[in-house]
Amino acid sequence: MDQIIVTGNGALSGDIPIAGAKNACLTLMPATLLSDEPLTLTNAPRLSDIRTMTELLSSLGSEVSSLADGHVLALSSHNVTSRRADYDIVRKMRASILVLGPMLAREGYAEVSLPGGCAIGARPVDLHLQALEAMGAEMDLRDGYVHATAPDGGLKGATFEFPLVSVGATENALLAATLAKGTTVLKNAAREPEIVDLAECLRKMGAQIEGEGTHTITIEGVERLGGATHRVVTDRIELGTYMLAPAICGGDVTCLGGRIDLLQAFCEKLDAAGISVEETEKGLRVRRGNGRVKAVDVTTEPFPGFPTDLQAQMMALLCTAEGTSVLEEKIFENRFMHAPELMRMGASIDVHGGTARVSGVDKLRGAPVMATDLRASVSLILAGLAAEGETVVSRVYHLDRGYEHVVRKLSGVGAKIQRVAAQ
């Protein structure tokens, strides 16, 4: 099992290319199931989660080819051969549930394992099912699978208001509604850029959609969708992560392809902490001068609020801030598992339920630490950039799910970082 070794060595300088969005690509790929014509996705990231979705779609009969060194995905679902998404594949990634809506809309039936064997209610899959049931689907949960059936004549347009804002459930309902008969109105819908990206792609395929990016999305169902070519939107989470690299250890770095509108609330917090963010023709230029950053309070919220997927990385920055910061996690429970590992590096963090109080220290110290999840793993790498001595991060396989070429990108701007096989 690999480890990443980081040695703090001062300010960073240069450019970091930002990949296409993992979460957007994982949502766009199941759209192939809605059509028997080819779908081509450009600017695709090369990640293990993308390979898992490729494996899942292939098991259903889709043809998926990786072109241009993996940055182009050519998908075709002209011959769907299976309507069952097996647990052995689905358990690897929660985004697998996104094949449910398209399969139900096109085939009228789908069997999809509950993601990761989870119970309904945790990171709620029930909202996906409720939205599809509003369109007339009948759900039977047994043996760890959702057995979903559309009524005779297929799904019907409906008005559904999400009781909680859910990105995944909005995506699933949006995918299914494109082929439903009549008009579907999704209220209290998620507004994330990945939702907007999905709607733009579906519109290229012939869908009739209005209101994406707002809390109300209206879809007029069509009889069939065609093929399309679509460029995956920039990964705003990777963007924010690499913006924090010069913020935490100083320097002047431009994140290529970055846009402030993808991370407005995050950029405002960086500004409050004393970090300069400037939008240029190349992307977002991030600079930090001498001295410690200022403490800021952070509350995670659905877009356009502060992203939960940047909370761990932001905590790493605030560990060395001047003053005390309060981070409140309102999206997912149990998302402070990185805190004990940061404390091994000398951070002062007090966690109570969904709130963490971070009292900034003068300096972090390198230490052996263990990644607990995708975002936690990269937060430890960021902390290592600012720490004295050597930080050894174990269980870095989490990184491969969401970040490509972390070592190459950070070493390209001057970081002292390497990936090695564990002894």
Put simply, whether the predicted model's pTM sits higher than 0.85 gets the answer yes
Q: Mean pLDDT over all residues of the chain? A: 94
Domain boundary among 204, 231, 258: 231
CATH at 106: 3.65.10.10
Q: Which of 25, 118, 249, 267 is catalytic?
A: 118
Q: In which band, very low, low, confident or very high, does the pLDDT at 124 lie, cut at 50, 70 and 90?
A: low
Ramachandran class of 10: left when φ > 0, alpha when ψ lies in -120 to 50, beta otherwise: left
Distance CA 7, CA 317 (A): 16
Q: Are residues 98 and 183 in the same domain?
A: yes
**How many folded domains does the chain comprise?**
2
**pLDDT tens digits along 54-101:** 999 999 999 999 998 889 999 999 999 999 999 999 988 888 999 999
Question: Residue range 224-228: average pLDDT?
Answer: 98
What pLDDT does 116 receive?
55
Q: In which band, very low, low, confident or very high, does the pLDDT at 121 lie, cut at 50, 70 and 90?
A: very low
| 411 residue type, one letter | S
Distance CA 245, CA 242 (A): 5
Q: In which band, very low, low, confident or very high, does the pLDDT at 331 lie, cut at 50, 70 and 90?
A: confident
Domain that holds residue 106: 22-231
Q: Which of 93, 86, 88 is nearest to 110 (CA)?
A: 86
Check the annotation: does 123 bind a ligand.
yes
Q: Are residues 12 and 51 in the same domain?
A: no
Q: Are residues 66 and 94 in the same domain?
A: yes
**pLDDT tens digits along 170-185:** 999 999 999 999 999 9
Q: Supply the DSSP string of 284-310, one letter for each residue.
A: EEEEE-SSPPBP--EEB-STTSB-GGG
Q: Supply the DSSP string of 147-195, one letter for each residue.
A: EEEPPTT--B--EEE-SS--HHHHHHHHHHHTTSBSEEEEES----HHH
Check the annotation: does 125 bind a ligand.
yes
Domain boundary among 185, 213, 231: 231
Q: Are residues 69 and 203 in the same domain?
A: yes
Active site residue 118: yes
Q: Is 20 helix (H, G, I), strand (E, B) or coil?
A: strand
Question: Residue range 240-247: average pLDDT?
Answer: 98
Q: Are residues 70 and 121 in the same domain?
A: yes
Check the annotation: does 127 bind a ligand.
yes
Q: What residues does 277 pair with on adjacent strands?
A: 286
Q: What residues does 327 pair with on adjacent strands?
A: 298, 356
Q: Are residues 14 and 124 in the same domain?
A: no
Distance CA 53, CA 50 (A): 5
Q: Are residues 15 and 44 in the same domain?
A: no
Domain boundary among 231, 249, 270: 231
What pLDDT does 334 receive?
74
What pLDDT does 118 receive?
35
Buried b (16+ CB within 10 A) or exposed e, 5-22: bbbbeebbeeebbbbbbb
Check the annotation: does 23 bind a ligand.
yes
Q: Are residues 14 and 33 in the same domain?
A: no
Q: Are residues 28 and 107 in the same domain?
A: yes
Max distance between CA atoms of the chain, in angstroms, equals 67
pLDDT of 122 above 70: no
The residue ranking higher by pLDDT, 332 or 25, is 25
Check the annotation: does 331 bind a ligand.
yes
Q: Are residues 239 and 215 in the same domain?
A: no
Q: Are residues 153 and 285 in the same domain?
A: no
What pLDDT does 332 receive?
79
Q: In which band, very low, low, confident or very high, does the pLDDT at 278 lie, cut at 50, 70 and 90?
A: very high
Q: Are residues 42 and 122 in the same domain?
A: yes
